[in-house]
């Protein structure tokens, strides 16, 4: 996708990664984009306007009160001129202002005044990124429809190691290109199951598993980002519902089964990421089971099998495309290939959960996508990036013409439909 003729407003804020803005301007201009650089005061400490002006071919803007620049193109005009705003690097301070809707300088004012999508590339010291306030601001910005790219993990300019490095200019260029592409699942209904289920033994005890829900939530978010209307049917995992996703909270496998069956007919795609308990206690004791009574019964629990939620969807007449997950600890690929056929699935994503790097609670994952005629590896990466890549593969495989002719770029609606009240 070429960026010919696209108006990109590149905001640069005051962090050491500002030097990479020069490379970014170069890449964007090489793709044919018109780039207007806006510097904050802090950014000007790290990189000079002259460098960015020479590379972009346009005078750099850095002052809301610059009468000459305002006379040439006022800040509201500039906000309207932009097809997309990219802030790279975005400091913790800048993110805090934007999350509050504060507009103390030209760049924050432009972000508020523009209808264009805003992409942010956070960059800061790892402790600043991990700080509760920054995390809160990042979550607010994402919920408001801003797209956060990165930060990457690794060695930092200050000598620390951890999350906070700005995403590389090439990755930012990809994100800008992707923002102008038609949404791949535009107007399709997608249902995702996520998290664990809880199978009650008595009013205070249950059987469950270690699923964190992170991968399922990331897939729901990636499907929404690709333009789908997404319903997330989630077991208890305490994660906030992603923006633009309808979240239905359930507890047991039977609840999840019922919620999915009720909505299956209207779906184009169902992705089962939930770690559903295969069995539940045959009966839930009405009162807490006392130790003495349990001992009299050999302390054993009778179990009955739960319905297979995604296999039931795949068996429906006019079934949607159904994709399952297989968390395996041995012979992963062979087990998954058999599981896909046994459950009648269109595709299955398999990962080896015995690997501690990609286990249930990790933020990273690596997997293989298997369908009837092929397989593709999804390399080790963050769960969000893997989710985006999986959604692109599923769109290519099962909905190749979806999104064609759809509007290219729209500011995402900051709407979170959390029916459940979880937010």
By CB under 6 A, tell whether 264 contacts ligand CTP: no
Give yes or no for residue 195 binding ligand CTP (CB under 6 A): no
**CB closer to ligand CTP out of 67 and 361:** 361
Q: Which residue matches tokens 């897939």? A: 219
To the nearest 10°, report the CA torsion of 8, 13, 16, 22. Answer: 20
What is the sign of the dihedral through the CA atoms of 289, 295, 299 and 304?
negative
Radius of gyration of the chain (CA): 24
- The closest of 60, 66, 68, 31 to 43, measured between CA atoms, is 60
Q: Given the structure tokens 């994660």, which residue do they identify?
A: 239
Tokens representing residue 310 in the block: 């995604």
- Binding of residue 253 to ligand CTP (CB under 6 A): yes
Among 228, 276, 321, 369, binds ligand CTP (CB under 6 A): 276
Q: Does 308 bind ligand CTP (CB under 6 A)?
A: yes
Q: Is 324 in the site for ligand CTP (CB under 6 A)?
A: yes
Choice among 111, 158, 237, 247 that is catalytic = 158
Contact 226, 269 (CB under 8 A): no
- 158 part of the active site: yes
Q: Which two tokens stand for residue 379?
A: 């390399």
- Binding positions for ligand CTP, 352-381, rule CB under 6 A: none
Per rule CB under 6 A, is residue 212 in the interface with ligand CTP?
Answer: no
CA–CA distance, 179 with 181 (Å, rounded to integer): 6
Our finding on whether 201 is near ligand CTP (CB under 6 A) is no
Task: Rule CB under 6 A: choose which of 170, 266, 278, 334 binds ligand CTP.
Answer: 278
In the list 325, 371, 398, 399, the residue contacting ligand CTP (rule: CB under 6 A) is 325
Q: How many Cα atoms occupy the beta-carbon half-sphere of 164 within 13 Å? A: 22
Does residue 239 bind ligand CTP (CB under 6 A)? no
Helix (H, G, I), strand (E, B) or coil at 43: helix
**Which residue, 8 or 194, is less far from ligand CTP as judged by CB?**
194
Contact between 164 and ligand CTP (CB under 6 A)? no
SS3 173: helix
The stretch near ligand CTP (CB under 6 A) out of 66-74, 130-138, 322-330, 352-360 is 322-330
Other beta carbons less than 10 A from residue 408's beta carbon: 14
Query: Scanning residues 72 to 101, which ones bind ligand CTP (CB under 6 A)?
Result: none
Q: Which residues are catalytic?
A: 158
Residues that bind ligand CTP (CB under 6 A): 193, 253, 272, 274, 276, 278, 306, 308-310, 324-327, 339
């Amino acid at each position: 996708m070429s960026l010919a003729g696209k108006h990109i407003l590149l905001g640069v804020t005051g962090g050491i990664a500002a030097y990479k803005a020069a490379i970014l301007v170069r890449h964007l201009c090489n793709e044919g984009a018109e780039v207007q650089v806006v510097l904050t005061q802090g950014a000007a400490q790290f990189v000079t306007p002259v460098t960015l002006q020479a590379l972009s071919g346009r005078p750099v803007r850095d002052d809301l009160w610059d009468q000459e620049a305002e006379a040439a193109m006022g800040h509201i005009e500039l906000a309207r001129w932009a097809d997309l705003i990219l802030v790279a690097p975005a400091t913790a301070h800048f993110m805090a202002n934007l999350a509050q809707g504060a507009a103390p300088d030209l760049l924050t004012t432009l972000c508020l005044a523009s209808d264009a999508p805003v992409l942010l590339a956070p960059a800061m010291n790892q402790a600043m990124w991990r700080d509760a306030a920054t995390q809160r601001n990042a979550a607010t910005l994402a919920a408001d429809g801003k797209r956060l790219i990165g930060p990457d993990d690794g060695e930092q300019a200050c000598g620390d190691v951890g999350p906070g490095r700005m995403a590389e200019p090439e990755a930012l260029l990809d994100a800008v290109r992707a923002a102008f592409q038609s949404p791949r699942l535009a107007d399709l209904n997608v249902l995702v199951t996520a998290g664990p289920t809880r199978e009650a033994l008595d009013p205070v005890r249950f059987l469950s598993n270690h699923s964190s829900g992170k991968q399922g939530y990331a897939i729901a978010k990636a499907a929404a980002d690709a333009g789908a209307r997404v319903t997330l049917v989630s077991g208890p995992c305490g994660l906030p519902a992603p923006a633009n996703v309808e979240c239905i909270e359930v507890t047991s496998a039977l609840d999840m089964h019922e919620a999915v069956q009720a909505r299956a007919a209207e779906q184009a795609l169902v992705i089962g990421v939930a770690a559903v308990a295969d069995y539940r206690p045959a009966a839930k004791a009405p009162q807490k089971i006392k130790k003495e009574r349990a001992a009299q019964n050999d302390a054993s629990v009778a179990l009955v099998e739960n319905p297979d939620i995604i296999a039931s969807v795949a068996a429906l007449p006019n079934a949607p495309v159904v994709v399952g997950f297989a968390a395996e600890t041995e012979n992963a690929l062979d087990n998954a290939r058999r599981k896909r056929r046994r459950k009648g699935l269109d595709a299955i994503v398999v990962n080896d959960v015995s690997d501690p790097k990609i286990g249930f609670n990790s933020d990273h994952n690596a997997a293989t996508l298997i369908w009837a005629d092929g397989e593709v590896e999804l390399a080790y990466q963050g769960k969000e990036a893997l989710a985006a890549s999986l959604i692109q593969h599923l769109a290519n495989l099962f909905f190749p013409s979806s999104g064609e002719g759809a509007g290219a770029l729209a500011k995402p609606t900051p709407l979170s439909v959390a029916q459940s009240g979880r937010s």
